[in-house]
Structures are given as structure tokens and as C-alpha cells.
Structure 1
Amino acid sequence: MNFLIVDDLHPLLIDVFEQKNISYSYEPTILPQEIAERLQDFEAIVIRSKIHLNKAILSQNPQLKLIVRAGSGLDNIDVDFAEKQKIHLINAPEANCDAVAEHCLGMLFSLMNKIHTADLQVKQKIWRREANRGTELQGKTIGIIGYGHTGKAFARRLSNLGVKILCFDRNPEKADNYAQMTALSHIQQEADVISLHVSLNEQSRKMLNQAFIEGCSKPFWLLNTARGEVADLEAIVNALESGKILGAGLDVLENEKLDTLSPKQEETFQKLVSMPNVILTPHVAGWTKESYLKISQVLAEKILKYLNQ
């Protein structure tokens, strides 16, 4: 099987391909518009996030047998059409879940204790103790929406912090001893913190919207390290302005190409930027030095298993 690798990956995967005499072409600088034609010479492709394998591209490449996604989400792949074409899919959600969990915890502590704003003030010789009085996490109820690898990893890290952990997932069989599986409405009633860990699909798109927020019985802190499209950013801004959302840690946005924002998106983004109770990071929750290596390790194991079937 011949592999086309179109994104930057840890050298470990290339080393495995060399050791196992797996044929590949490493082309991380390839442009998205070049993929459809270039792919015709390959039976397998390894992607990260810059390439979207839609129905049009897959239709032009009936020889394709394997798609490898170096990361967790599959939202840049037309999964339904790929499955109809009997294309096997491999991803690595277990490889960066620890990184995401730690990022969530870091954002949450910073928001609740105003660490990010206090740091900026002290650097400007502004010494405000009362304005930076924090809120303790202990005794709070955490609602985790989406209880796959990242949701579970976050729950494990929270488990010794004296909090009550609720979780919701469309597959209740994912329940474990770290969180209480419950209805989404129960999380809306009880949670002091809501953290999103769902994959992006038609069911989850903009699931956190104005109606969801209004359905929450008390103000809450919000974390989103999943996908920007699962939350309505305008609704989040409105809730931040009203105080229904106490603070937000957002690693993902609806449009992450900030130089292409529409006028409405630009207005919403500028409001977010101006809010001291908002932390924004550039989709790096799962992007650590360790996860960079672990993703290639997991993919190598899964690819070899697939090839040896």
C-alpha cells in the first residue's frame, strides 16, 4: 500500500514506514487544491487538519482504501461517504486526550482565580487584591458534555479536587467510576462548570446556543476545547455580557482563520477580546510536545495492525 502524507508529522511515523518498508511520499507543503489529482497515485493518505476530504475528492479517487487522521476529530472527512466507499478510517483520539485535559484544567484555574488578568495588571504596576479575589474549585459541580477520551481524561484529573463530576454522552455505555452519567438537562440544572468534549456532527453543531444557556439554572464557567462550531459564539458573548456565563476558556472558534472573519464575526470576536473573563488559545489544547510524539506512535501501531490483517 502506497501512502501520501500531506501534513507535518513527528519523524517517528516516517521511521516506522522506513523500517517496515512501507511505500510513502512525504509532501507536507502540498496545497489543498492539489490533493484530488495527486491522490490518484495512492491507496492511503495521512492528514491532519488543513485538508478536507469531501465527497468530490473521494469520488475522484475510487482506489483509496485508507484515510489516517493525525488527531482526534474526523470532521474534515466526509465519513458517511468514505464508509460507503469502504474506506477504512484511522484516527488517534487517545493520543492527545491528556494534553486537552491539562489545558482545560489550566484554563479553569486561571479563569476562576483571575490569574491571567492579575498577571497583566501587576506587570503594569497595578496592585489590586480585592478585584482579583478568586473562586475555589472545591465543592463545585462540573458538567462534562461528551465522554470520550478527552472527557474521561478531564474527569480523571478532576477526581481528586473535591468536586462533583457529571457527564453526558449519547452512548451511556461510556460511563466509568470518575463521573456520574446523567441527562443533559441534569447538567444544565446542577453544573457550575460546563466543559465541551463532543465531536462535531449535525447533532452537536451549535448545541450550546441561546436556548441551552437559558436552560441552565445558574451562572457557570464555560470551557470549549472541542470544536468551535459546537457552540454559538454570539450566544456566548451575550451570556458573558449578562453574567449568565461567568467566564469562558475557548481553545476553538467557529472561524479560526481570523483574517477571513465576516463583519458580524469580527464584531463578536472584538467583544470577546475585550472581556477580561475570557481566555482564548489558538486550538492548541491537544498540541503539546508529548502529544506530537504520541499521535505518531498511536497511528503507527494502528496502521501496522491494519496492514497485517
Structure 2
Amino acid sequence: MSKPALLVTAADLAPQALALLQDFEIVYAGKTPQPADIVALARRHDPVAIIVRYGQVNAEAMDAAPSLKVISKHGSGIDTIDKVAAAARGIEVKAAVGANAAAVAEQAMALLLACAKSVVKLNDRMHHGHWDKATHKSVELAGRTVGVVGLGAIGRRFARIAAAMEMRVIGFDPFAKDLPDHVRPVDLATLWSEADVISLHCPLTEENRNLLNAQTLSQCKRGVIVVNTGRGGLIDEAALLAALESGQVGMAGLDAFAQEPTPANHPFFGHPQLVLSPHIGGVTSDAYVNMGIAAANNVLAVVGKAVAA
């Protein structure tokens, strides 16, 4: 009997994950799979499971694979999976919760430090022969207030790093329980008004899309630093640009964008108050292995016994 198919919406998977999935026929969708590519492969191979790294899995892809039992995210954010369609079809959706928490939290802090210390600007100036010691002033983060939106594994880890740097940490997450002592829970209105830094670590939902917009940014401290390593849709990008131009936002460090990859003419490019990275917060050699193993184990938790039988 041939092995059941497992579709990976990427061109590779960590060897440690593949070792767990040796009872499956692995089908790769390539480096940048489009929804139509995923549908076509699902129709051709009828996978029992899909591991999602890139691209979107929609209802059409699910209908193309009648044997599909589980969609497992190679990461923590499942907004690229149509969860409503999956539930209607009895397909489980699972995330690799916490597998990339260290990587993303570190990237968020790296972006914050780059903004507060003008790392990118000063590096560029130095390479062009300038010595700005007499004129430059950085932001000292110790004693400042950081507002963390989303207190799952990543947000909590970022909060712990910030607290270790003697920052005052406030946080908003209506679902979080048993918060550590160094995080003071607040409502969003309080977070906007008190935070010197806002760092976004929540999943994207229809309820929080454009959470940071012209209205909410106007409620923040003037010169606030914004960091987003969550999802691009959490920020109204036009409103953020306007706030940067007016000085309401001092700097922003972004690892997620409304459209990915970002178009070549994106207005963010070249902006002196923006530090950008291409959604690589969770892309480290360690996280690659951890997320692969977690995604594989989530598949096996649903279909492992059936495969073994």
C-alpha cells in the first residue's frame, strides 16, 4: 500500500521533522506557492495533512483533498488558513505554539534597539565618513514604558527581556491568564496613553485588523516607538506613515506587512524613520527545526495512529 500524502507549502522541511514523517509521501509546493498551486497539488495528491509554511490554504484547497484531516502551521500564526472552512469540513487546524518564541521575541527587541539607538542611520553615516558624536542623542530604554499587545509565548518572552532591561512593562491580552509579576495588565486605552514603546505580538483577526490606525495612534504619546513582529494587517500602513511624518510616531521597526512580499514601490522603502526586515523574526536555524518538529508532531497527533494502522 502506498504511503498517504502530506503536502508542505514550501520547498523544504527540517530533517528532524522529516524523520518523524517517514510514513508519509512528502509533496513540496515550492518556495513561493500561490493558492492555485496549493489547490492543484491537493487535487493531484489528495493529502491527509498539510503543513503550512508559505501561501494560503483556502476552502478550495480543502475541497480538492477529500482525505484531508489536519492543517498544521509551521509557526504560530494561522491567519493564512481559512479556519471557518476547516471547521465546517471537520479538518483540524493546529499551530506550532511557542516553537519560534525566542526567535521572534529577539527580533522584536532587535528592532526596538535599532530604533531607539538609531543603529541603521548611524551605521550608514559612519560608512559615508561622518562622525555624529557631538550631535546625536539616542533614546535610553531603562525606565521607559513598553506596552505589549498579545501575551502569548512570544509576547511574554519579549516582556521578560524588556523587564530585564529595567523597562516598565504593561500589557493587553483579554485571553491571558497567570501573568508574571513584571507585566501589569491594562486596557488598550491605558496602553496607548502610557506606552513609550508599543510592541505587537497578537494574532491577526477581523476584530483587531488595523488595530493601530489614525485614531489609536493619536491617543499615544508623541514620539512613541512602534514595533510589529506579528502580522502586517494589525497596522493601517497609511496611518502609520502619516503619524511618522507628523512626529506622532518617532520610529517604527517592522517585520510584517499588509502585502508580502512588499511591492517594489512600497512607500515604506527609504523612509528614514523606519527599520524594516522581511518577516524573518521566526527564521533562525533553531526555530526552523523547532517549528518543523512541532508541525510534524501536530500532524501525527491527528493522523499518526491512522497511518500506523
**TM-score (structure 2 length as normaliser):** 0.90
Gaps of 5+ in 1: none
| Distance in 2 separating the partners of 1:5 and 1:172 | 31
Aligned residue number for residue 155 of structure 1: 159
Give the stretch that moved more between structures: 212-221 or 116-125: 212-221
Q: Note the C-alpha offset of 1:137.
A: 0.4
Matched residue, 1:49: 54
Which SS does the other structure have where 1:211 is aligned? Answer: helix
Mapping 1:51-66, distance limit 5 Å: 52-66=56-70
Distance in 2, Cα, partners of 1:92 & 1:165: 26
Q: SS at 1:159's partner residue?
A: helix
- Of 17, 23, 32, the residue aligned with 2:21 is 17
Amino acid at match of 1:156: R
1:160 maps to a residue whose letter is A
> Is the counterpart of residue 275 in structure 1 residue 271 in structure 2?
yes
Distance in 2 between residues matched to 1:186 and 1:145, nearest whole Å: 12
Of 7, 10, 32, which aligns to 1:4?
7
Output the CA distance in 2 between the equivalents of 1:130 and 1:297. Answer: 51
Kindly report which structure 2 residues correspond to 1:1-309, keeping only aligned pairs within 5 A, or say none.
2-7=5-10, 8-18=12-22, 22-29=23-30, 32-40=35-43, 41-50=46-55, 52-173=56-177, 175-259=179-263, 266=265, 269-270=266-267, 272-306=268-302, 307-308=304-305
CA contact under 8 A between 1:118 and 1:132: conserved in structure 2? no
Letter in 2 for 1:232: D
Structure 2 SS opposite 1:226:
coil
CA distance in 2, matches of 1:213, 1:129: 32
- CA pair 35-273 structure 1, distance change in 2 beyond 3 A: closer
Q: Is the 8 A contact 1:5 1:28 kept in 2?
A: yes
Relative to structure 1, is the Cα distance of residues 178 and 297 closer, same or farther in structure 2, using a 3 angstrom cutoff?
farther
Contact 1:111 1:279 in 2 (8 A): yes
Stretch deviating more after TM superposition (290-299 or 3-12): 3-12
Deviation for aligned residue 1:178: 3.4
**TM-score for the superposition, normalised by structure 1:** 0.90
1:167-213 CA distance string (max 9 Å, x none): 10121426333311110111011100000111111011111100000
1:28-56 CA-partner distances (Å, limit 9, x unpaired): 42664233243242211112122x11122
Q: Distance in 2 between matches of 1:248 and 1:16?
A: 40
Q: Please identify, of 30-39 and 154-163, the stretch whose mean Cα deviation from structure 2 is larger.
A: 30-39
Residues 72, 298 of structure 2: 8 Å contact kept: no
In structure 1, give the amino acid aligned to 2:291: I
Structure 2 unmatched runs, 5+: none
Q: Distance in 2 between matches of 1:284 and 1:123?
A: 25
Report 1 or 2 for greater relative contact order, CA contacts < 8 Å, sequence distance ≥ 6: 2
Q: Which amino acid aligns with 2:26?
A: S
Query: CA separation in 1, counterparts of 2:111 and 2:305?
Result: 42
- CA–CA separation in structure 2 for the residues paired with 1:177 and 1:86: 40
Give the drift of 1:62.
3.4
The 1-side partners of 2:246 and 2:85 are apart by 43
Secondary structure of 2:240's partner? helix
Please give the root-mean-square deviation of Cα atoms over the aligned residues, in Å. Answer: 1.9
Partner of 1:273, secondary structure, is: coil
- 1:305–1:60 CA distance, 2 compared to 1 (3 A): closer
Q: 1:221 to 1:31 in 2, by over 3 A?
A: closer
| 2:221–2:248 CA contact under 8 A, matched in 1 | no
SS at match of 2:239: helix
SS of residue paired to 2:135 = helix
| Residues 9 and 28, structure 2, Cα contact 8 Å, conserved in 1 | yes
Flag the 1:31–1:223 CA change in 2: closer, same or farther, 3 A. closer
